Amino acid sequence: MKKVLRIFVADIGGTSSRLALYNASPNQEFTLLSQITVTTTDYVSIEDLLQSVIKIDDAINYKQADISVLAVPGPVIHGTPVGLVNLPWDVHLSQDLLSNNIHLINDFEAQAYGCMAEQNANFLAIRHPEKQVKHGFVVIGAGTGLGHCATIMDEKKPITCPSEAGQITFPFQNSSELQYLEFLRNKFSGKYPNGDRVVSGQGLALLHEYLTGEILAPDQVVQKIDQNSLTTEWFAKFLARDCRNYALTFLEACDMLYLSGGVLIKNPFLVDNQYFIQEFIDCDTKHSDLERIGVRLVKDELIALLGAAKYGFDKLI
């Protein structure tokens, strides 16, 4: 193995895309050499995006890397993306791209790898700061959409299980929430909303509209609310319920819940509160098991880039 590996990475999102070049040392210290963020809809294809970024910053050049890893929003089966969500174009790798050792992975698989590169990452401990990951963890993130990935820490190699759980219909519970459900069904032409539409930036804006009558963009909503706002209370409970259900699915292997996504990273008060914790452990039969799970909030928006770099490193060694 070369002394230092050069890894090109990209986190392709429905709103914006981040691209970067890392150096990786043999002991897995990742050094960010250069990084750029662009608007995804300014480009018509993945090849257009990659070629254009080289012109903007030649330091971020996939052709100069030992391996390239692109994280995309949706399932990737045997290296091929299938049914991507919140993305304005399909991702198809041309022969030119394929010849440059480029790999595609799910964006939350990249988030999971970023959480595994803990010595390089930055987290806020919300619950059980002393907790260590021994068996496995889940990472859930609210941004443009809602992402999920579970990881089992196998002795030989971690097993990542990216999921489309954000597409599951959201479990509203009481009469007040069912009134909100009807509000959402009217917004979505009678369709029952999934988690992707409830616990995301879009979901935060819709929830605030329902509770206050104010029609605002997500970034405007967070400027008007705080830890004690009703919008925060409802959103925290909804997100915690989604996290609880997913953690229960992987309960035997779940030591830690990592929270990620731009909405949460930029606004920690949405999850660093008692509404979230109380809802997360609210289970008649598995309360004590949920109690033992640590909770960390990712504080670095580049976590998926770091994770893609670690994935590429693991591919090369």
Residue 90 confidence (pLDDT): 81
Residue 21 confidence (pLDDT): 96
Give the sign of the dihedral formed by CA 228, CA 231, CA 233, CA 239.
Answer: negative
Residue 82 confidence (pLDDT): 78
DSSP 192: P
Q: Who contacts 130 (Cβ-Cβ below 8 Å, separation ≥6)? A: none
Sort strands 294-298 and 256-260 into parallel, antiparallel or unpaired: parallel
pTM reported for the whole predicted model: 0.93
Of 91, 32, 80, the residue nearest 60 (C-alpha)? 32
Residue 88 confidence (pLDDT): 80
Residue 2 confidence (pLDDT): 62
For the record, the structure tokens of 282 come out as 């609210």
Residue 192 confidence (pLDDT): 95
* Number of C-beta neighbours around residue 35 at 10 A: 16
Sort strands 76-77 and 80-81 into parallel, antiparallel or unpaired: antiparallel
Distance CA 129, CA 147 (A): 24
Distance CA 261, CA 259 (A): 7
Residue 255 confidence (pLDDT): 98
Give the chain's largest Cα–Cα span. Answer: 61
- Count Cα neighbours of 60 within 13 Å in the Cβ-side half-sphere: 23
Distance CA 181, CA 175 (A): 10
For the record, the structure tokens of 81 come out as 């993306």
Of 193, 175, 176, 177, the residue nearest 185 (C-alpha)? 193
Sort strands 159-163 and 146-152 into parallel, antiparallel or unpaired: antiparallel
Spell out the alpha helix ranges (H) of 168-286.
Answer: 175-187, 195-198, 201-212, 218-224, 230-249, 262-266, 274-280
CB 23 within 8 A of CB 29: no
Low-confidence ranges of the chain (pLDDT < 50): none
